[in-house]
Structure 1
Amino acid sequence: MRKYVRYKDSGISWIGEVPEHWETKRVGAYFNENKALNKDFIFKKAYQFKFGSLVLKNELGDEREYEDTYVKYTVLNENDIVFNGLNLNYDFVSQRVAICPAPGIITSAYIAMSPKNSIDSMYYLWLFKTMDNKKMLHGMGSGIRLTLSFADIKNQLIPIPPLPEQKAIAEYLDKKTAQINELVSAKQKQIELLKEYKQSVIANAVTGKMNKNRRMKDSGISWIGKIPENWDVHYLFQKVREHFISNKEIHHQNLLSLSYGRIIQKDINKTDGLLPESFDTYQIVENGNVVLRLTDLQNDHKSLRVGYVTQEGIVTSAYECLEVFDKSLYSKFFYYQLHSFDVKKMFYGMGGGLRQNISYNELRKIRIACPPLSEQKEIVAYIEKKVSSIDSQIASIENQIANLNEYKQSLISDVVTGKVKVC
């Protein structure tokens, strides 16, 4: 890519050199803080931050219900640049800079800056987003929770290209990032299709749908339908029992948790405020157990709630732990069938109470389809081979997405700071 003919030191540590004809000024020379309040309740809809953009809140109820709050909000002008300068010492993930697409309001806890006439807002949006991406904002702010103010921003040095260049750079970045985002979106769709395919592979395998030439019979299980003629149907309690061993007297230290359908290890020594003072109330789980999180069913319809245990450890007693006791049922086959039951959201028709929790008393009545043991093991081997291949494809695409996003951020940074010439 092209470069400018001559460069000079910008005096800005994170930028270094800029094109020789660019100026360097402080933010306050080109932006005013916008502190205008919605005191007459002119605007009834408010913006919120969402992935580095401002989007309108989808408020419920009568708009007058929000009047007392919204009259204290800041009135934004089109092309105002807004910073979310809250909790800088806790949150290193959020995208903190956005531009206002049309007049509206936003909480006064955020910083709103109105551009002066001699600059292009979109160029400076890209510049401030680059600062955000490089975590420059996290070295600013004050107070225990490191909160950013306009006073922290206004004295920051920024490059000032000629206005025509600002516009050309902004247009170039709009075009190029849109192209990259389109590529990323297409790859994300590939991942979703592969994930759907993976679930269909598992479901077809554990319900006997792999070979269409087999003689079939009705299973009597609504979510399964027909099964191979040589398969049996049993109630869960005929093959599986509740497994509970208290950690109170054992004090096991290998802390496990169910996350996105996988049993993961956690650091028992971490003090992040989410772990209890004592693990005496936890339960011990063993290799081959199946763990289920069957709480808050009415609130969360996305989580995968079934996990397979491969090592001894402890989990919260809020989980339900199951143990296969009948040797004619392979524990991994049982797990995969229960996983498909979970993926099809069958748990949501069960449970009781205000929070719709499920206990073993409800689980024991679930009916499971059981092939001969040798076939169960063949099915599990087939599933694991296919899943491994699909997961490798997903990982490859995720790596491509990461590279595209890294390239996008590098391109934005190089163009907006004059390392690359686009006009």
Structure 2
Amino acid sequence: MICDLKPYPEMKGTSIPWLEELPAGWSVCRNGSLFVQRIETGFADLAILEVSLKTGVRVREFGGSSRKQIMEDRAKYKRASCGDVAYNMMRMWQGAVGVAPVDGLVSPAYVVARPLPGVLPHYFAYLFRTDAYMGEVDNYSRGIVKDRNRLYWEQFKQIQTPCPPTAEQAAIVRFLDHADRKIRRYIRAKQTLIKLLEEQKQVIIHRAVTGGLDPNVRLKPSGEEWLGDVPEHWEIRRVKSLSLVKRGASPRPIADQKYFDEGGEYAWVRIADVSASRKYLEETTQRLSVLGESMSVRLQPGALLLSIAGSVGKPIITKIKCCIHDGFVYFPQYHGNADFLYRVFSCGAPFGRLGKLGTQLNLNTDTVGGIRLGLPPDGEQGVIVAYLDEATTGIEQAVACVRREINLLHEYRTRLIADVVTGKLDVREAAAQLPDEEQEPQLLDDLDEISDPEEAALDDLDTAPEDP
């Protein structure tokens, strides 16, 4: 179906800086002629909504969340009616915009735009999240520091926007919703495969770091559930007996550009950098200035760190000079085999009594320090590490391959949406032939969620907005 799509038969030039041409039947409108601002407060009983960078507007879940925020006066929060477009003023340029799924409340730092008759909000939500449109939003945003730029209503309503006839808006939404569901199903299947592969790897690691490699070795009770019986000659030690466990630190406000320097000596480690790496950290997307590194924690190559926020419980060994924020802990006095301790943490089992691995673990310096593990002699640790490196390489390569396939699906989805909402592809006939389908729950799981606590904090700036 998608491969049969064709361009519109007739196009025309536009006055939009980032869009050279549109279908002849489309118009160009300023947002102020498509939406009106809704500023309604005093509805304290409504659900709290949030605008995610990746998933749009959704009802906010507070139970068990590390991002829980106390709402001191919900009466000051803005009402967003079902079908309104809401956006985070500070993150609209990154795609923090969507359609309210229910009547609810949004932060005073958000803008609520009520669509006028003939305006289908879901078409515009797709459009607003395209790279080209987000670039235009960035041009209209105002602020002292780029990462703190805000798109106020007065600027939003001036932006020129392509506007198809209402019937075509509906056809585009119908087509993209259908395509999106298919792509998400593919991604979900691949995520399931990754989960199975990771579980297989963890079983191999767990067996080796608790029982060693000799099937005939004499065992003794460890007194620890996750360890079970361990080789008789191993020591049972708490992590804190091997080293202090300390947290990283972050310069604040973290978005201030004076803390960053592309030529800086120390790399700045975010949860996203760790999530994208395997055993070793070899590069990051940002580097700190001298001032920035002085306000953080410097680590040297070979240091082991463990995430306690975002992708909770993920260990990594750095191969570069780096600085870490307080979403990580490190082990400054540990002089043993870092690769062995990495394998102990990476099997996930030591965290079993502390919560669910991934995002719901209760990890801090005390809980990590209190973990008990089996410690073989140094030479045996090296043998176990070498065995696991070889035994898990094939699995890790398979996982990396599936992740690349997921990234390609994301790229395809992004390109398809951009081409359809800007009139490069005509989907009217294809949309008319689609079967009716029920909406599905969100399927993109953690691959589409914010993983860095610093980004989460920026997305969560739910306080009163600054004056323009």
Tell me the TM-score normalized by structure 2.
0.66
Whole-angstrom distance in 1 between the partners of 2:35 and 2:285? 46
Matched residue, 2:257? none
Secondary structure of the structure 2 residue equivalent to 1:357 = helix
What code does the residue aligned with 1:104 have?
G
1:274, 1:422 → 2: CA distance?
50
Is 2:366 aligned against 1:357?
yes
Deviations, residues 353-406 of structure 1 (Å, cap 9, x unaligned): xx763798x78xx56353794x65443222101232222222211111111111
Which amino acid in structure 1 is aligned with residue 34 of structure 2?
Answer: Y
5+ unaligned residues in a row in structure 1: which ranges?
A: 244-252, 325-330, 350-354
Measure how far apart 1:48 and its partner are.
1.5
Q: Look up the match of 1:233.
A: 234
The corresponding residue for 2:180 is: 177
Change (3 A) 1:130 1:272: farther
Gaps in structure 2 of 5+ consecutive residues = 64-69, 245-263, 356-363, 429-468
Q: Distance in 1 between matches of 2:323 and 2:138?
A: 37
Q: 2:410 aligns with which of 399, 405, 411?
A: 405
CA displacement, residues 37-95 of structure 1 (integer Å, 9 cap, x when unaligned): 223x36443211233322233468xxxx95x732222222221111212167xxx7x53
1 CA distance for matches of 2:330 and 2:341? 19
Are 1:22 and 2:26 an aligned pair? yes
**1:6 matched to 2:4:** no
C-alpha spacing 1:165/1:104, structure 2 compared with 1 (3 Å) = same
1:391 corresponds to which residue? Answer: 396
Q: Does 1:151 align with 2:154?
A: yes
Q: Tell me the residue number matched to 2:361.
A: none
Structure 1 match to 2:55: 52
Cα deviation digits, residues 264-309 of structure 1 (max 9, x gap): 6789972286532698xx7x8686xx74669xxxx86964376557
Equivalent residue, structure 2, for 1:186: 189
The structural deviation recorded for 1:323 is: 2.2
Equivalent residue number for residue 304 of structure 1: 313
Query: Could you tell me the TM-score, scaled by structure 1's length?
Result: 0.73
Deviation at 1:196, TM superposition (A): 2.5
- Aligned-partner Cα distance in 2 for 1:136–1:53: 19
**Residues 1:69 and 2:78 are matched in the alignment:** no
| Higher helix residue share | 2
Q: One-letter code of the match for 1:5?
A: P
Letter in 1 for 2:175: Y
RMSD: 4.2
**SS of residue matched to 1:344:** helix
Verify: 1:345 aligned to 2:346, yes or no.
Answer: no
- Higher Cα Rg, which structure: 1
Equivalent AA in structure 2 for residue 13 of structure 1:
P
Deviation track 1:174-220 (CA, whole Å, cap 9, x = no partner) reads 11112112212222232233222222211112233767x64653343
CA distance in 2, matches of 1:13, 1:256: 37
Corresponding residue for residue 380 of structure 1: 385
8 Å Cα contact 1:291-1:321 kept in structure 2: no
Q: 1:206 to 1:97 in 2, by over 3 A?
A: same
- Kept in 1, the 8 Å contact 2:268–2:287? The answer is no
Show the counterpart of 2:113: 113
Aligned pair 1:83/2:87, yes or no? Answer: yes
Which of 334, 337, 352 is equivalent to 1:322? 334
Letter in 2 for 1:146: N
Q: Is the partner of 1:321 in helix, strand or coil?
A: coil
Q: Sequence identity of aligned pairs in percent?
A: 23
Q: Identify which range, 97-106 or 258-267, moves more after superposition.
A: 258-267
Report if aligned partners of 2:344, 2:350 keep a CA contact under 8 Å in 1: no
**Structure-2 change in CA distance of 1:269 and 1:117 (3 Å):** closer
